[in-house]
Amino acid sequence: MKQGVILLGHGSRSTAAQQELSTLSSQLKKEISYPIEEANLELTKPNFWDAAKKLINQGINKIIIVPLFLFTGYHVSQGIPRLIADAKDEYPEIDFQLTSHLAAETTLFKEIIKEKIDR
């Protein structure tokens, strides 16, 4: 199975926010052997569908979606799962896998917070 990754941010009109997502994506591409696409849930392009189509056009048949959201709000609990369900309906031959949001990884999240405090 050939897999790729979508880094799914909220989306922002802020060029600084867009640049942060782009920088994160570029850095990960240097460390991870899978194709990585960045996407925004709303407000700006590329959106989820743009990123998914780009990966599918590369022959990817498993797409791992990493939601770059801190807490379980509307987007994490309803919006993104609904989007993934729609994607599975649109592309039944593709295995879409949604990872947990960032704060769900409490051990890692605690380490980030401790590092910020200790600076």
7 contacts: CB under 8 Å, gap ≥ 6: 21, 24, 25, 28, 36, 37, 38, 39, 66, 68
Yes or no: say if 29 and 36 are a contact pair by the CB < 8 Å rule. Answer: yes
Is residue 10 among the annotated active site residues? yes
What does the longest C-alpha to C-alpha distance in the chain come to? Answer: 47
Q: Exactly one of 3, 10, 53, 91 is catalytic; which is it?
A: 10
Just list the catalytic residues: 10
